[in-house]
Amino acid sequence: MSLRCDRLLADGQAVKTMAKRGQRVTLKALDTPVTLSWFWRQHEDTGEREQHFVVATEVLSGPYLVRLGKRRWAIEACFKVLKHQFGWDAFGQGTRLGMYRWWLLGFISYLLAHWQFLASEQTTLDWQQAAQKARQTLFPQEVLACFLQELADVRPTLAELGVVITVARVPVAV
C-alpha cells in the first residue's frame, strides 16, 4: 500500500524521516506493525524526482517491498490515465461482460494512444493530444463524420449570424 510522506509513526516521527528501508514500524492510530520502504520516481509532467513510500503488513525486505511498490505504482498510473483520459470515470456497466468489453476498449485506446506517442518522437507525453492524434491517423472517416455532424448542429446559429459554410469534396490525385 502507498503512504503519504507526512504520515506519522506511533512515536510522532513522519515516515519521511526514516533512514533505513525495510524497517518494521508502527503507524499512528494503527496497532499492526508494518514494513516501511520507499523508492524514487520521476514525475511524468515535471520530470522531478518524487519519493514514494510503501508499506506491507508482512515482514519483507526493503528491496522486495520497493519492487512490489513500483509494480503497483506502474499499474495505478495506467488506470489513472484510463480513468481520466479515456472516460472510465463515467462508465457504469452493470454486467461482467459489459465491464470486460469496456475494459478491453479502454485498454486498446490506451495502447493506440501510447503507440501514437512513440511514433511521434515527442519528448513529453500528453495523453489527450496522443489520443486525438491516434484518432485522426487511424480513423479519419470517423473524424470527418463527427466534424460534419457538429457543423450541422451549429448551422442554425451560423445562419442567424449571416455565415454560410460549405463543405465540398475535392478530387485527390493518388
pLDDT, tens digit, 9 for 90 and up, residues 23-54: 888 888 888 888 888 777 777 778 788 877 77
Do 60 and 90 share a structural domain? no
Q: Do 47 and 97 fall into the same domain?
A: no
Decide which of 37, 54, 82 is a domain's last residue: 82
**pLDDT exceeds 80 at position 78:** no
For 5-25, the pLDDT digits (tens) are 677 788 888 887 877 877 888
Q: Are residues 133 and 146 in the same domain?
A: yes
Question: Based on the domain organization, do 37 and 21 belong to the same domain?
Answer: yes
Specify whether 117 is located in the same domain as 143: yes
Give percent above pLDDT 70 in the chain.
Answer: 89
Measured between alpha carbons, how far is 135 from 142 in angstroms, rounded to an integer?
Answer: 8
Task: Look at residues 48, 82, 116 and tell me which one is the last residue of a structural domain.
Answer: 82
Q: Is the pLDDT of residue 93 over 70?
A: no
For position 1, what pLDDT does the model report?
A: 61
Query: Which residue range forms the structural domain that includes residue 155?
Result: 86-161
Mean pLDDT, all residues of the chain: 81
The H or E element spanning position 159 is helix 140-160
% of the chain residues with pLDDT over 90: 16
Please write the tens of the pLDDT for every residue from 110-124. 899 899 999 988 888
Separation in Å, CA 54 to CA 16, 19, 67, 160 = 11, 14, 10, 60
Domain tally, the chain: 2
Q: Is residue 66 part of a domain?
A: yes
Regarding whether 91 and 77 lie in a shared domain, the answer is no
- For residue 2, what pLDDT is reported? 63
